[in-house]
Amino acid sequence: MNPSSESKRCLTRILHAIDLSSLSKTDHKLLLSRLDQHFPALFDLLLQVYDKHYDLHYHLQQLVKTLASQFAQRNARLKKKDKQRLADPLWHKSEQMLGMACYVDLIAGDLNGVREKIPYFTELGLTYLHLMPLYKSPEGDSDGGYAVSDYRCVNPVLGTTKDLQMLAQALNEAGISLVLDFVFNHTADDHAWAKAARAGDEKYQDYYLMFDDRQLPDQYDATLREIFPSVRRGSFSYLPDIQKWVWTTFNNFQWDLNYGNPAVFRAIVDEMLFLANLGCDSLRLDALAFIWKDLGTMCENRPKAHALIKAFNCCLQIVAPAVVFKSEAIVHPDEVVKYIAPNECQLSYNPLLMALLWNSLATQKTRLITQSLSHRFAINPQCTWVNYVRCHDDIGWTFDDGDAAHLGINGYNHRLFLNQFYTGRFENSFAVGLGFQENPENGDCRVCGSLASLAGLQQALERNSPSLIELAIKRMLLLNSVILSIGGIPLLYAGDELAMLNDYSFQTDPHKLHDARWVNRPRIDAQAIALAHQPGTPQYQVNVGLRKMIATRKKYPVFGAASTQVLRTGSDHCFAYLRQTDNGERLLVLCNFSDSERELSADILHHLLPAREVTDLIEHQSVMLDFSNLLRLTAYQVLWLYLPIAVN
């Protein structure tokens, strides 16, 4: 069979069988053009996944009907944005990009409150706002909203779907791209599909991975990684009312969807396009590494998972090409990069950078970040990293053991050290954090805590030590300086710009008590904002320092679409990289991750030759290139050495 010719015949048959008469002539022509362009790839991908399904043609026909229906429902404003983004596909690489992630209720109460905070967002410089899951979810514990009861219904506490559409339009008018979560590995156990499955409907039981006994679950469990071992051992939950086991990778109330069933793919495409048509600019693909299961494997990062994500992307390109995918693959670095491609995920979280930044602070050494990023930072030039210091989740130490071994570091032992350091169990640690999901069998866990508390501010304030406070402020600004300059979209977690400390109020809520991640999800109130605007406070110093770096970033294209070369400094304590645009604009970044002054060879300045004078954009002053003396960086100092154009 020739897939190309077969896909054309298939599409022709489908178009003869479905009714597109409701579309205007312009929309009809546009839809056919996009189908001609993207259906061959979609056909090939779904053939790879569902080649053994005799009814694949039926599912393809129903899928095209869904695409046509959602395309018809996409409003004129969004179709105009589709055209704009197709003409400027690398919009996300701009130096103007600055992101923030937040929970609606914690930052503003509800969606209307978020709309009222748009002036604050624009004044800070945001051009990208990720609203954490805001869909209807179970009362009580909902895994922070990642257990979705209804994709098309906003949590009533936060507002309505109409409120969300109005917010999306207001953000668009303010130049802020809206990011929503696409929770597609699982649904809540009270989703309509799950309720039908529980009631005995075989159609919907096949929407999930259900088993009559433990034979297959035991075989799968033998090779699976436990994600939430303190919640439940293994990856399956028993449903006594129907005497079945259901696959639950995460919590008992989050049922994994069965993508071996093409009807599930079609149903989720419909939900995805509904979200796209609300007006978002990006969809964060939650837990994408887990969506395909193969017996005898870890059931993560499987080839058919990639095929499915590419197929979802094809559907977006047909209906809503302004929307891009953001990968949330918190897995081994070799696997993270496999999701990053123009036809898969155009954006990707960079969990390796986050982990290595915190590692560098704990060890005061930069060997591992230099070794790892020297060959792991480069990605497809049409795609963009989303770089973050902290997020709503935990910190997992996702560095490569091979990179560590190259430096004589035992990866397993080093992770144990990092867990001890950031949970305050290591002598002389400055960090105040909590462990999350510790595995009693292997001692593995992750770390939770706000940026300020993990960087030492909480401990410094408790000890009332001006010198420790100063070091904590420098650590926070150092970490932010890297995500703002290394290349990609810098993403702040709401509250970190205010240097907010750990929030322990979750420990009094029985629905949150078991989930330490709530410690780094503070409620942002007027007091926190006022403290960050009160001169003399450490919160003020962090906020002002961050704002200055943000304003500087937006002025220079070298912070946007430019290449990044990680450099070896000759110092175990200093990290460096060179940014360069196509026209020769250059930025040499030097960072001291030590709490004392460090020296490095001035030879690194040769990357700025033949210039003799450059500008330090952090201090906004001229710097003469002096090769006769060693470079000296004070504790946690950062230099942004800028050269406007290549000097002849």
Instruction: Single out the catalytic residue among 286, 438, 572, 616.
Output: 286
598 - beta bridge partners? 633
How do 128-131 and 177-183 pair as beta strands? parallel
| Helix 303-319 × helix 25-49 angle, to 10° | 170
* In contact, 492 and 97? CB cutoff 8 Å: no
**What angle (nearest 5°) sits at the alpha carbon of residue 445, between those of residues 441 and 446?**
170
Distance in angstroms (rounded) separating the CA atoms of residues 606 and 602: 8
Token pair, residue 10, equals 């298939």
Euclidean distance between CA atoms 188 and 502, whole angstroms: 29
Does the annotation count 286 as an active-site position? yes
Element (H, E) at 229: none
On whether the CB atoms of residues 556 and 95 are closer than 8 A, the answer is yes
CA nearest to 361, candidates 635, 593, 108: 593
Give 29-50 as a DSSP string: HHHHHHHHHHHHHHHHHHHHHS
What single letter denotes the amino acid at residue 100?
Answer: M
Comparing C-alpha atoms, which of 364, 353, 336, 434 is closest to residue 397? 353
Task: State in Å, rounded, how far the first CA of the chain is from the last one.
Answer: 58
Beta bridge pairs of residue 640: 589
Catalytic residue among 82, 328, 393, 444: 328
- Contact yes or no for 298/60 (Cβ under 8 A): no
CA dihedral sign of residues 304, 308, 311, 317 = negative
Dihedral angle over CA of 550, 551, 557, 559, nearest 10: -20
Residues 372, 389: Cα–Cα separation, whole Å: 17
CA atoms within 13 A on the CB side of 238: 6
Residue for token digits 């909902």? Answer: 142
What is the CA angle 185-189-195, rounded to 5?
115
Dist CA 495 CA 474 (whole Å)? 17
Q: Residue 48 CA to chain centroid, in angstroms?
A: 28
For the sheet with 210-211, list strands across it: 210-211, 244-247, 236-239
**What SS3 state is found at 628?**
coil
Q: Are 488 and 350 in contact (CB under 8 A)?
A: yes
Q: Where are the beta strands (DSSP E) in 472-585?
A: 489-493, 563-567, 574-580
Cis peptide before 610 (omega within 30 of 0): yes
Instruction: Look up residue 354 and give its two tokens.
Output: 């986050």
- Active-site positions read 286, 328
